Amino acid sequence: MTLKYSLKTALKGIQVNKSRASLTILGIVIGVTAIMLVMALGEGAHQLILGQIQGLGSKTIFIAPGRQPTGPSDFAQVFSDALKERDLALLERKTNVPNATRVLPIVFGGETILYGSETHRATIFGSSEPIAAVFDVSPAEGVFFTDDDVRGRAEVAVIGSKVKKELFGDSDAVGEKVKIKGRNFKVIGVLSPKGQASLFDFDDAAFIPYTAAQQYIFGIKYFHRFVVEADSEDAVPQTVLDIEATLRESHNITGTQKNDFFMETQTDMIERLGVVTNVLTLFLGSVAAISLIVGGIGIMNIMLVSVTERTREIGLRKAVGATNKDILYQFLLEAMALTATGGAIGIALGAVLSFITAIVLSNVIAMEWKFTFPISAALLGVGVSAAVGLVFGLYPARQASRKSPIEALRYE
């Protein structure tokens, strides 16, 4: 008996019980759909965060206080007061960091902003004038604060579009005064709507001179971050070394002592992001794949029932010349046809759901969530489905092939 005839016979066997076959492949469909959906969303999240990091520019270096966290016990170090005004002055010297074009001090935190009877909690960024250029934000109304405002601890603020809408509605905000931590700040600018960018929601933020933020809002004399911009992408590695040497000398760190600060470049962030998202996606994909195993067990059970119901058919076929091998192929192909059909439906359904989810997420988070067809997930779904059909279909097929033709013909 040819393989073509065995396949034709297997497909006829499936068509006899369409309802049962449909329910049988449901587990495979759910499993493959889940794998497609998880891996597509994982890739979408990876691309989204990658785009946010790249939005900072490939020449940007972040400096944070404390040791770089490697475990839960290290996260407290991130909130240390290691970065001081003296460090800022040393980093701004061309002799210390010759390739740095901008050195940006940052302090930040959540605070409530009041205007009349309206209140809104937003992120307060204290920094200097170049923050607008580094993060690519600009006022749609009014102006940004200047270095003179920073030196004079001016109580001025540039607010995001969401803050403006929540506090002022359709009224003009420029020239009005808002209250932050009991201090009156004059609104001198309103940022253009930007949405989520560079891991921050600038629409829901207010920018003030860092000197005013330190003294009036946060009550600190240190910085939460420094952002250094190198003059070229090729100069980033050398700039990192210059920064490290400058800060180690400033903090009297010698020999093998550990730094009380750490730096991250765009490359570092991308590599760390890749590891995290890949591990998470593989983990969730593995969990989703468990449903394929459940579906395979369901197929094996149904095939065993089918073998019992078709005992007389098996006996009759053997009586007219079918060999054990022919019977084995017939039932094995039947199981693999079920899983292949489920895999194909699952891939199509997973792709459609992933596309719809990407559109919904783009609207919900107001950011471009890209749909990516996960070819690896599709290949994985096909491969696992075929393996499930082969593994879980082999036992029922062997049981069918071993039946005695005489006993099978006598079966009632």
Provide mean pLDDT across the span 244-263.
87
Contact 160, 244 (CB under 8 A): no
> Tell me, what's the pLDDT at 176?
93
Residue 138 pLDDT greater than 70, yes or no? yes
Domain end residue (candidates: 199, 224, 259) = 259
252 and 281 inside one domain: no
> Tell me, what's the pLDDT at 123?
92
29 and 92 inside one domain: no
In a domain, 69, yes or no: no
Contact 291, 30 (CB under 8 A): yes
339 and 364 inside one domain: yes
Helix (H) or strand (E) holding 186: strand 183-191
> Tell me, what's the pLDDT at 75?
46
Q: Which residue has the tokens 């000197």?
A: 211
Global pTM value: 0.59
163 and 237 inside one domain: yes
Contact 212, 153 (CB under 8 A): yes
> Tell me, what's the pLDDT at 144?
94
255 and 275 inside one domain: no
In sequence order, what are the residues at sequence separation of 6 or more whose Cβ sits closer than 8 angstroms to the Cβ of residue 283? none
Q: Can you name the residues that pair with 82 across neighbouring β-strands?
A: none
Residue 285 pLDDT greater than 60, yes or no? yes
> Tell me, what's the pLDDT at 403?
63
241 and 285 inside one domain: no
Helix axes 324-365, 18-54, angle to 10 degrees: 40
Residue 124 pLDDT greater than 90, yes or no? yes
Domain of 137, in residue numbers: 81-259
DSSP string, 39-84: HHHHHHHHHHHHHHHHTT-TTEEEEEESPPPSSGGGGGGGG----B
Domain end residue (candidates: 224, 259, 294) = 259
Provide mean pLDDT across the span 41-64.
70
Residue 72 pLDDT greater than 50, yes or no? no
Provide mean pLDDT across the span 59-74.
71
Residues above pLDDT 90, as percent of the chain: 27
Lowest mean pLDDT, pick from 72-76, 218-222, 255-259: 72-76
Residue 186 pLDDT greater than 90, yes or no? yes
> Tell me, what's the pLDDT at 79?
55
Cα 407 from chain centroid (whole Å): 60
Residue 49 pLDDT greater than 70, yes or no? no
Between 142 and 256, the more confident residue is 142
Residue 27 amino acid letter:
G
Residue 316 pLDDT greater than 70, yes or no? no
125 and 174 inside one domain: yes
pLDDT digits (tens, 9 = 90+) for 344-394: 888 888 888 888 887 887 776 555 667 777 777 777 777 777 777 677 666
In a domain, 61, yes or no: no
127 and 222 inside one domain: yes
Domain end residue (candidates: 259, 292, 309) = 259
Q: How many domains does the structure of the chain reveal?
A: 2
In a domain, 66, yes or no: no
Provide mean pLDDT across the span 191-205.
75
> Tell me, what's the pLDDT at 379?
76
249 and 276 inside one domain: no
In a domain, 67, yes or no: no
Provide mean pLDDT across the span 84-109.
91
Between 12 and 385, the more confident residue is 385
Residue 268 pLDDT greater than 70, yes or no? no
253 and 303 inside one domain: no
Tokens representing residue 357 in the block: 């989810």
Provide mean pLDDT across the span 286-310.
69
133 and 253 inside one domain: yes
Best mean pLDDT range from 52-61, 155-164, 261-270, 329-338: 155-164
103 and 208 inside one domain: yes
How confident is the prediction for the chain on average, in pLDDT? 78
In a domain, 65, yes or no: no
The residue among 63, 371, 67, 381 whose CA lies nearest residue 224 is 63
Contacts 24+ apart (CB under 8 A), 77-80: 77/260, 80/260
> Tell me, what's the pLDDT at 341?
80
Confidence of residue 22 (pLDDT cuts 50, 70, 90): confident
